[in-house]
Amino acid sequence: MTLLLLFLHVQTINIFSQENIIKFANHLYAQEDYAAALNEYRRYQFLTDSMHEDIPEIIIDCLVKLKRFDQAIKESTELKNNTKRDFIKGWIFFLAGKYDSSRIYLKRVGLPYKEDVEKIMGLGYAYEFRFHQAGEYIELPDKAPKYKKPVLGAIYALFPGGGHFYCGRIGDGIFSFLVISTSALLSHYYYNRKEDIKFSVSLGAAILFYAANIYGGINAVQNYNYYQDEHYLQRILEHAE
């Protein structure tokens, strides 16, 4: 009985030894179980007196993988190397979509991270569709996006469906033309028949649809330009891989 208790005691010590905790944490991390791995790294961090320098960075990476960016930023303040700390903060802000904050830290960083910094800053500008600034840091694909002009969209929209035709949305253009034309023809029909109430309703509908057509023409241009930006961004991301 005494030997059994002694054996169990030894096994318990082994299970909770710092070496086994870190091995188990690394195993969980390799299995992409970042929440469980984070708990084990935290436990190791609490128990150890001399933590390996890679552990804080792995903890930060777990937090990033879990999209707990605010906690990752807070954790990164504990890093002793100023250059590495600024780089990691810039990287975290980039992943969080806070590109302005990312650039604040990345601009402070030099070697040995210069190449990575330029790529991250360039991609940050690209995600904001600021392709001209992105081109100062990364190589961009050929054939930059060609945009439609909202003013022309509004002018073309003076003709029912014209704004949609301008953007190549033929189906939407035909639909707008038919709706407005039908409303206008109905209002004209009821006017000739002197049916004032029906005339007023059909005329109001025609005016409403016509105004919506102009707004839709401008919106179609904005959507077209946004699609061009998104398409070009995807090409940049593929090019950057």
Instruction: Count other Cβ atoms within 10 Å, centred on residue 44.
Output: 21
- Please report, rounded to a whole number, the percentage of residues in the chain having pLDDT higher than 70: 92
Q: What is the pLDDT of residue 134?
A: 92
For residue 68, name the pLDDT band (cuts at 50, 70, 90).
very high
Are the C-beta atoms of 149 and 221 separated by less than 8 Å? yes
* Residue 154: per-residue pLDDT: 84
Report the C-alpha gap between 202 and 180 in whole angstroms: 10
State residue 151's pLDDT score: 86
| pLDDT above 90 for 203 | no
Mean pLDDT over each residue of the chain, to the nearest integer: 86
The pLDDT score that the predictor gives to residue 16 is 54
What is the Cα–Cα distance from 93 to 216, expressed in whole angstroms? 36
Q: Which residues contact 170 (CB under 8 A, 6 or more apart)?
A: 164
Instruction: Indicate the burial class of 166 (C-beta count within 10 angstroms; 0-12, 13-18, 19 or more).
Output: buried
What was the pLDDT predicted at 6?
A: 37
Average pLDDT over residues 150-172: 88
pLDDT band at residue 51 under the 50/70/90 scheme? low
**Whole-number Å distance between alpha carbons of 210 and 220:** 15
Question: For residue 54, what pLDDT is reported?
Answer: 82
Half-sphere exposure of 159 (CA within 13 A, CB side): 10
In this prediction the pTM is: 0.76
pLDDT at 8 over 70: no
Instruction: Name the residue with higher pLDDT: 52 or 173.
Output: 173
Mean pLDDT of 157-164: 89
Categorize the per-residue pLDDT at 14 as very low, low, confident or very high, splitting at 50, 70 and 90. very low
pLDDT digits (tens, 9 = 90+) for 93-107: 999 999 999 999 999
Residue 38 has pLDDT above 80, yes or no: yes
